[in-house]
Amino acid sequence: MIQNKTNSGIPYWRLSGFYFFYFASLGVLVPYWSLYLKSLGYNSLTIGGLVAILPATKLIAPYIWGWLADHTRRSMLIIHIACLLALITFSLVFVSQQLWWLTFVMLLFSFFWNATLPQFEAITLNHLGDDTHHYSMIRLWGSLGFIVIVVLIGHLLETFDTDIIPLAVLFTFIVIAVSSFAVPEKLNTPHAEHSPIWHVIKQPKVLAFIVVCFLMLCSHGPYYTFYTIYLEEQGYSSNMIGVLWAVGVLAEVIIFLIMHRLLPMFGARKLLIVSLLLTTLRWLLIGFFVDDLSMLFLAQLFHAFSFGVFHAVGISLVHEYFTGSHQGRGQALYSSVSFGAGVAVGTLISGLVWDMWGAGVLFVFASCCTLLATVIVWKYIQTSTAGAKGAGGIKF
């Protein structure tokens, strides 16, 4: 049960508000940015390359900012700066639509934009303290933000042209920057051991987890880059495309509402295996049953597992593996490897494969990534204590 935040000192609504608007920006960028680039006349290979810039900067940006956060212990100040710089640099997209300029602007703004979320995840977990298994109760507001904007933009595109897409992104960036100033700083707990972070990373279970994160998000590359274009080419309306995106994220919201019970009940390992297997099935349904709307809806319901369960378990394991002074960099590494390297590689492969072999082959590739990840979890990631606390209701 959610009670007033003053009962526990957790700023529930301020944390949730930031997630709401941050993922609203993703609700424009992920489904519709490739559509905007297509309207400018770019081919699939160029679109894949441009979209890959967004996750590619996560290879470097989060870790640089995470290092600064861990050493200055001023995470919110870094978030404020990054939000403002992302807003300023994205506004440059209106200057020119030439390829070299868009490439430059996307590199620049995504370097700052990708800095914010990993540090905010660490701030949220610090505020939660011993109740980290309730993270999903806050994070679900990000999913709601995604749903609202993805349906709204889908509806607007029935009336207006794609020029509204960059305007919508700019608006969300403004609100993200404003909402960040409402969130109070929460320092991590100093850790007695100051060993290099590599000592944590080289543990077999941590290395296995990192590889699994890479493969899972690599499998999402085709979905993030070409799902909207794929459905549009099959004759689906902008409204229906927006609804299908929203159904997936609504399923994610529902799973977030119960994740604080599922984690203690089943443990990280079982939940990872289930999420990977259902994600495999999801990609096959999208690749081979695009003409069947009921199958597309079923595939979108599996987003509850391919993102909701997987991400909640991932955040929990990162918080368990990377403690104290390694916390900010641990979250940054998770973001860099999965939503950075994983999505970037998956997106680039999508751009290369789409025109040559089509969606069927591309989504089979995605399913192979998740099957391999399942084998790695089965062999190397044993039952974790993460999320093993009681499943009682959270109080804010």
pLDDT at position 7 is 43
Rounded to 5°, the CA angle 48-95-351 comes to 5
Position 31 pLDDT exceeds 50: yes
Mean pLDDT across the chain, nearest whole number?
A: 85
Give the residue carrying structure tokens 């020119």: 96
Helices (H), the chain: 12-39, 44-56, 61-72, 75-90, 99-128, 135-156, 164-180, 198-201, 204-219, 221-233, 238-288, 293-301, 303, 310-321, 327-335, 343-380
The Cα 66–Cα 144 span in angstroms is 27
> Which DSSP string do the residues of 374-391 spell out, in sequence order?
HHHHHHH-----TT-S--
Q: Kindly state the average pLDDT of the residues 120-139.
A: 79
Q: Using CB atoms within 10 A of its CB, is residue 291 exposed (0-12), middle (13-18) or buried (19+)?
A: exposed
Position 391 pLDDT exceeds 50: no
pTM listed for this prediction: 0.77
Asked if 172 and 153 count as a contact pair (C-beta separation under 8 A), the reply is no
pLDDT at position 318 is 85
- 145-200, pLDDT tens digit by residue? 998 999 999 999 989 999 999 999 999 999 999 999 998 877 655 555 556 777 77
- 204-251, pLDDT tens digit by residue? 899 999 999 999 999 999 998 889 989 999 999 999 999 999 999 899
The Cα 249–Cα 27 span in angstroms is 10
Helices (H), 94-134: 99-128
The Cα 112–Cα 100 span in angstroms is 19
What percentage of the chain carries pLDDT values higher than 70? 90
Q: Which residue has the higher pLDDT, 192 or 317?
A: 317
pLDDT at position 292 is 95
Structural domains for the chain? 12-185+197-380 (1.20.1250.20)
What percentage of the chain carries pLDDT values higher than 90? 49
Asked if 134 and 394 count as a contact pair (C-beta separation under 8 A), the reply is yes
Nearest to 90 by CA among 39, 25, 153: 25
pLDDT at position 194 is 57
Asked if 273 and 382 count as a contact pair (C-beta separation under 8 A), the reply is no
